[in-house]
């Protein structure tokens, strides 16, 4: 079984700038800060699938023909409401990103992969807090809510495998799916 997801890689310069958002004093709570090399924007999560199905997914993803586009990270937030479980950098939504997500989801569903039906909220996970007081998370959001990466090009999607390593995860790029030239 392989644990797979498709994602957009974050350029190195932006990844290094995102680590500055992690340098926030967190008295009274612990957070598992995501390592810089694991920063990405998930397109669609396939989960645990058998290798023959993974090969079918690869073939379908290779057949997509999409134009390159730009994205921007803008602001920060937290998932989990009163019990925050993820701190993230938000992705400014674009029609191109939404279309990419919908196409990957359609492919996975057509192959019989059970896809989470929650609303797509593109983001870069920065931390997984443990027992974080809501006021501390709100202070982190207030301190970082003006973050903006500036636009960056997106010229491919990547199929990643996810592997448990200690108490965290390691993401290994398995296949790249280049996009065509941007349409003007």
**Residue tagged active-site, from 40, 101, 131, 170:** 40
Short-list 24, 25, 136, CA closest to 78: 136
Give 61's contacts (C-beta < 8 A, 6+ positions apart): 6, 104, 107, 157, 159, 175, 177
Catalytic: 170?
A: no
> What's the residue count for the chain?
184
Residue 160's H or E segment, with its range, is: strand 156-165
Half-sphere exposure of 110 (CA within 13 A, CB side): 11
- CA geometry: angle at 97 spanning 127 and 94, to 5°? 95
Residues 46 and 111 sit within 8 Å (Cβ to Cβ): no
**Residue tagged active-site, from 101, 104, 123, 131:** 123
Residue written as token pair 């009274």: 28
What are the angstrom distances between the C-alpha of 87 and each of 58, 134, 137? Answer: 31, 12, 8
- Residues annotated as part of the active site: 40, 123
């Amino acid at each position: 079984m392989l644990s797979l997801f498709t994602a957009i890689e974050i350029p190195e310069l932006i990844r290094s700038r995102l680590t500055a958002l992690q340098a926030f004093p967190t008295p009274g709570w612990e957070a598992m800060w995501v390592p810089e090399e694991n920063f990405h924007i998930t397109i669609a999560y396939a989960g645990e699938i058998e290798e023959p199905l993974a090969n079918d997914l690869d073939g379908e993803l290779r057949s997509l023909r999409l134009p390159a586009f730009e994205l921007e990270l803008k602001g920060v937030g937290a998932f989990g409401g009163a019990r925050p479980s993820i701190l993230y950098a938000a992705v400014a939504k674009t029609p191109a990103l939404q279309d990419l997500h919908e196409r990957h989801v359609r492919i996975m569903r057509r192959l019989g992969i059970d896809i989470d039906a929650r609303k797509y909220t593109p983001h870069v996970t920065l931390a997984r807090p443990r027992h974080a007081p809501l006021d501390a998370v709100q202070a982190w959001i207030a301190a970082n809510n003006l973050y903006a990466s500036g636009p960056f090009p997106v010229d491919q999607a990547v199929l990643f495998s996810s592997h448990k390593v200690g108490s965290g995860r390691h993401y290994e790029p398995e296949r790249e799916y280049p996009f065509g030239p941007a349409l003007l």
